[in-house]
Amino acid sequence: MNRRAIAVAVCSVLALGGGVVAQRAPASRAGAGAQDFLLARSRAGKIEIGDTVDQIYERFGRQNVRLTDLFSEGMFTPALQVSIPGAARQPSLVVIVSEWPCMRWAASTVDVRDRRFRTEEDIGIGSTFKQILDSYPQAQKPTWGEGHAIVMVKALKLAFVLATEEIPPPATAAVVSVTVYGDPEEVRQEKCPQLGPIKQPVPD
């Protein structure tokens, strides 16, 4: 994935404040609304990578969405801060928006700060590095970025940001945020196939 996108998401956590105690937060996948807090491939609840800004406003209500500029690395970095009622701290989500790859303003990455968001394996904010590895043995080796160890699960397009700088992280290092990202080619195919593939075939 785009490493700058991960860095921007991590910076947004630091700028808005982020610290957790390691624990497995309770989560239920039963009942109405369970999908609203599900972390899945390129998705955080109601938001999927590639969803347009207008779609996000419509789903959460304009009163719960604030347009801002994270000004990451001195560059214009537009984002939507999404507040979801019932969260211990707001905003619940920070959605970085970009015109790529569908040539319209849409979700590029989602920084999840609300511990109610969990994967099917109940991994999210507060989970430990060991719990990530137990649930996702295929997780990539941790990397370092913006003062945090980051563990990526490519199959889900999720990056777990840990409350430690150590590489390898201690088993008890807790997740402080989760970055949801996507594959531009997949987004192009699903959201704007009329634009054609990103990688154009080489003519004979």
Per-residue pLDDT tens over the stretch 85-135: 999 989 999 999 999 999 999 999 999 999 999 999 999 999 999 999 999
- The answer to whether residue 202 is domain-embedded is no
- DSSP code string of 156-197: TTEEEEES---SSPPTTPBEEEEEE---HHHHHHHH-GGG--
- The answer to whether residue 170 is domain-embedded is yes
Q: What is the mean pLDDT of the chain?
A: 88
At which residue do the structure tokens 């994967």 appear? 119
Express each pLDDT in 43-66 by its tens digit: 999 999 999 999 999 999 999 999
193/142 Cα distance (integer angstroms): 34
- The answer to whether residue 201 is domain-embedded is no
Express each pLDDT in 148-168 by its tens digit: 999 999 999 999 999 999 999
CATH number assigned to the domain comprising residue 119 = 2.60.460.10
- The answer to whether residue 31 is domain-embedded is no
- The answer to whether residue 32 is domain-embedded is no
Q: What is the number of structural domains in the chain?
A: 1
Domain limits at 109?
3-25+37-195
On whether the CB atoms of residues 42 and 157 are closer than 8 A, the answer is yes
- The answer to whether residue 84 is domain-embedded is yes
- The answer to whether residue 89 is domain-embedded is yes
- The answer to whether residue 120 is domain-embedded is yes
pLDDT over threshold 80, residue 25: no
